[in-house]
Amino acid sequence: MKRSFLLLSCIAFLGLNINAQVDTISQNIYQFNGNLGIGTTYPSSKFTLKCDEVITYPTFGIMNIMNNHYATFDGYSASDIHYVASLFNGRRARGTVDYPQNVMAGDRLTGITSAMYLNDAWRFSSSILFYAGQGLDYDSYPSYIVFNTTAANESVYTERMRLAGNGYLGLGTAAPASKLHIADGDIYIENIDRGIIMKSPDGQCWRGVMTNEGTLGFTPVVCPEDIVSVKQPASAEDKVSVFPNPAGDLLSVVYDSDYKGTIYFTISGAGGKLLRQGELDGRTTGIDISGLAAGVYIITLVEGTGKNRVSRQFIKA
């Protein structure tokens, strides 16, 4: 009898301890419709953490991932919809979480920061920060992005680049006035074969490259957007080679055995005007283009059966 009483007493004691532990946890951890919540009785996602804590820079935040090796956060997404992906959403409001209020221009919305441990403390040294822009309204949600880094002999990071809401990029300026605005510094192109590409009023693109005399020498080039637009599906493109490009007086055309029968070609200018036409003689043919002026041209190959057709762009030097 005495043993039974002691056993029941132990079970009761253990039960009280277990219940006390569960009660302590359940004051802040909740489950609702298969969702887990900390600090909220009605979690809106599979895991929701809700709190009312004042975090003072640069102390640690609400949730930390710590490890003595890699400490990573991996988001996996699988879907047949092209715009679905693993996203990091930073949401910002004024007021409170339960009663949000509109943000104001200049409010920091979210960001990514990096810190290094140095001299017995964590030192924040770079960041990418997202802000609400000027002109907030019912149907206007402007924003801008600021990139900050810390240089040698500096202890506080400084804004180096800003992407404005209109797409203007500023280096060294907080108010970019053009697509690329460099307030202080140089543009350095090390490759002597590269330079500045500009389009003339007639639609021709030109690359300006520095000469040994210190002047820009311009030569015609294919416009970047034309390189993309003229490409055909890989199945047709891979069957035809046109070289050299730029070409001199002779343009070589090579096609594989998938092209049957007579192969016709046409050469037209950038404006679409037909300049040359004829037939290819064999799978490797040299076409005399010595009579063409320097510029950009399009050569089109058409199989006699009409099954295969491909256009390639080339430059006559």
Question: 204 with 275, same domain?
Answer: no
Q: What residue numbers bound the domain in which 311 lies?
A: 229-316
- Amino acid found at 308: N
Q: Which of 199, 221, 243 is the last residue of a domain?
A: 221
- The answer to the question of residue 274 being in a domain is yes
The helices-and-strands tally (H runs, E runs) of the chain is: 3, 21
Question: 96 with 167, same domain?
Answer: yes
Q: CA geometry: angle at 246 spanning 241 and 249, to 5°?
A: 90
Question: 235 with 290, same domain?
Answer: yes
Question: 195 with 281, same domain?
Answer: no
Joined together, the tokens standing for residue 297 give 């041209």
Output the pLDDT for position 181: 96
- Amino acid found at 240: V
Question: 212 with 235, same domain?
Answer: no
Question: 176 with 124, same domain?
Answer: yes
**Residue 96 phi/psi, 5° resolution?**
-130, 175
Output the pLDDT for position 207: 85
Question: 92 with 174, same domain?
Answer: yes
Q: Which of 204, 221, 238 is the last residue of a domain?
A: 221
Joined together, the tokens standing for residue 183 give 């307030």
Bridge-based pairing state of the strands 35-38 and 47-49: parallel
Instruction: Say which residue the tokens 């010595």 belong to.
Output: 290
Question: 198 with 177, same domain?
Answer: no
Q: Is 179 helix (H, G, I), strand (E, B) or coil?
A: coil
Output the pLDDT for position 128: 97
193 touches 186 (CB < 8 A) = no
- The answer to the question of residue 8 being in a domain is no
DSSP state of 86: -
Q: Which residues of the chain have pLDDT under 50?
A: 2-24, 229-234
Output the pLDDT for position 270: 67
Bridge-based pairing state of the strands 284-288 and 29-32: unpaired
260 touches 276 (CB < 8 A) = no
- The answer to the question of residue 276 being in a domain is yes
DSSP state of 63: -
- The answer to the question of residue 13 being in a domain is no
C-beta neighbour count of 82 within 10 angstroms: 6
Determine the Cα–Cα distance for residues 315 and 242; give it in Å rounded to an integer.
11
Look up the CATH number of the domain holding residue 293.
2.60.40.3080
Question: 252 with 172, same domain?
Answer: no
Domain count, the chain: 3
Determine the Cα–Cα distance for residues 267 and 311; give it in Å rounded to an integer.
10
- The answer to the question of residue 52 being in a domain is no
Instruction: Say which residue the tokens 């879907």 belong to.
Output: 79
- The answer to the question of residue 201 being in a domain is yes
Single pTM value for the model: 0.64
- Amino acid found at 117: Y
Determine the Cα–Cα distance for residues 234 and 237; give it in Å rounded to an integer.
5
176 touches 164 (CB < 8 A) = yes
Output the pLDDT for position 258: 67
Determine the Cα–Cα distance for residues 157 and 151; give it in Å rounded to an integer.
8
- The answer to the question of residue 294 being in a domain is yes
Output the pLDDT for position 2: 46
Question: 173 with 197, same domain?
Answer: no
Question: 234 with 309, same domain?
Answer: yes
- The answer to the question of residue 6 being in a domain is no
Output the pLDDT for position 13: 42
Q: Is 120 helix (H, G, I), strand (E, B) or coil?
A: coil
Question: 170 with 241, same domain?
Answer: no
